[in-house]
Amino acid sequence: MNIVGIIPSRYASSRLPGKPLALIGDKPMVQWVYENCKKGLDDVFVATDDQRIIDAVEAFGGKAVMTAEDHQSGTDRCAEAAEAIELKYGLKVDVVINIQGDEPFFEAQQLIDIKQAFEDKTVQLATLIKKADSIDQVNDIGEAKVILNEKNDAILFSRSPIPFIRNHEQSEWLNNHDFYLHLGIYAYHIDALKKIVKLKPSSLELAESLEQLRWIENGIPVRCVVTENDETMCIDTEEDLIKANEYVKTLSK
């Protein structure tokens, strides 16, 4: 089974134009992400809408494919990229891991963790989750929570704290139930990927602004893999970029 990592990398960004090419230390951000991916995957590709990003990736020895400018999500870009990879590089793609292109310091162990889900041949889609450490995380609407069935397939994702623990004060919830937070890495069997990009936005997805609810509402199970690794620094603004460069300086000391 060929498991391929794809890094969707758009040039346009409202808050940080040209973000994939922004320098962190002496390397563009896309190179940091790519090199971390290679620690966990043999086959990694950048999917972009701009020749400048392709040129930069190929300059450091990476592989990249061109995709359309008008994709609404990284999932859509990954679907087109999977076809482009087969055409350009002759590699049959069985599973795609969709990797955030603006988290240059993520742990490659996350890729190893999510790959393991596909040892079960019935898995169509997979994603990473981790245990919540505090009730503040559970209450944070910026954190998607998830509840699971016995197979570790998602029953529901929500920005609300789920489940509700009756007969206990909220300060005691974590002592009476394990709460899980969703991390933003997805993996798709190629057949499932081709299917989900044809689905229309669902009512729960629109209500919560969580793409993965579309898949559940359409009866496609999402296998959740527990990881010990936290989310890492996300680069969205010039201020984030400054912090990233300060962090890199500490690595060289």
More confident residue, 151 or 10: 151
Confidence class for position 154, pLDDT limits 50, 70, 90: very high
Amino acid at 194: K
Question: Could you count the other beta carbons within 10 Å of the beta carbon of residue 140?
Answer: 15
Is it the case that residue 218 has pLDDT exceeding 70?
Answer: yes
pLDDT digits (tens, 9 = 90+) for 23-79: 999 999 999 999 999 999 999 999 999 999 999 999 999 999 999 888 878 899 999
Per-residue burial over 192-223, b = 16 or more CB atoms within 10 Å of its CB, e = otherwise: bbebbbeeeebebbeebebbbbbbbeeebbbb
pTM, entire model: 0.92
For the stretch 81-126, pLDDT in tens is 999 999 999 999 999 999 999 999 988 999 999 999 999 999 999 9
81 contact partners, CB below 8 Å, separation of at least 6:
6, 8, 45, 47, 65, 67, 96
| Tokens at 115, concatenated | 């790959």
| The pLDDT value given to residue 73 | 84
Q: How do residues 178-193 score in pLDDT, each as one tens digit?
A: 999 999 899 999 999 9
- Rounded to the nearest integer, the mean pLDDT of the chain is 93
Quote the pLDDT of residue 253: 64
Name the pLDDT band for 158 (thresholds 50, 70, 90): very high
Q: Is the pLDDT of residue 177 over 80?
A: yes
230 has pLDDT over 80: no
